[in-house]
Amino acid sequence: MKTRFLMEKVNPQGYVGMLELEKAQRTSSIDPVLKELIKVRASQLNGCAFCLDMHTKDARKNGETEQRLYALNTWREAPFYTEKERAVLAMTEAITCIADKGLPDDVYQNLRKFFNETETAELIMAAVTINAWNRIAITTLKMPAIDS
């Protein structure tokens, strides 16, 4: 496959807006490893090769283990994730597949057991942001670089 076009070159103003949204995520109080789990899981669900490549590498740089990354698509069955992480992963899946059921109350209430309102808002924005990036990368066929 070949990249259709680079959004940053064709629509720089829109791309800068996305970068500002991403930049806002960097100031959140959420653990960087948890933020990367959101990005990886949403990218798995959306089938975004570019973002999966980027965020699995970023997760490892932040201390995430290979074992947990490999098992992430089976997080409900795998014993490697805390209840707090499971709450975030359930939220991520609900937001990524928002047309299915929205963000169900039970998923939201479970998330709130672990996070205050500000942190919850930051988690929601992290999931929304990666979903937007996934959609840009997928529709433009942005390809990850092949590691040598």
The CATH number linked to 123 is 1.20.1290.10
Query: Is the per-residue pLDDT at 1 higher than 90?
Result: no
pLDDT, averaged across the chain: 97
18 located within any domain: no
123 located within any domain: yes
Cβ(73)–Cβ(45) below 8 Å: no
Q: What percent of the chain lies above the pLDDT cut of 90?
A: 95
- Taking the C-alpha atoms of residue 72 and residue 81, their distance in angstroms, rounded to an integer, is 9
Domain that holds residue 91: 31-140
Q: How many domains does the chain have?
A: 1
Average pLDDT over residues 55-82: 98
26 located within any domain: no
16 located within any domain: no
Q: What is the pLDDT of residue 26?
A: 86
Residue 71, token pair as written in the block: 């098992």
49 located within any domain: yes
- Taking the C-alpha atoms of residue 67 and residue 78, their distance in angstroms, rounded to an integer, is 10
Average pLDDT over residues 29-56: 97
- Taking the C-alpha atoms of residue 30 and residue 79, their distance in angstroms, rounded to an integer, is 22
Amino acid at 138: I
48 located within any domain: yes
Query: Is the per-residue pLDDT at 148 higher than 80?
Result: no
133 located within any domain: yes
Q: What is the CA radius of gyration of the chain?
A: 15
Q: What is the pLDDT of residue 71?
A: 98
Q: What is the pLDDT of residue 27?
A: 87
Q: What percent of the chain lies above the pLDDT cut of 70?
A: 100
Q: What is the pLDDT of residue 113?
A: 98
Query: Is the per-residue pLDDT at 134 higher than 80?
Result: yes
pLDDT in tens, 75-132: 999 999 999 999 999 999 999 999 999 999 999 999 999 999 999 999 999 999 999 9
4 located within any domain: no
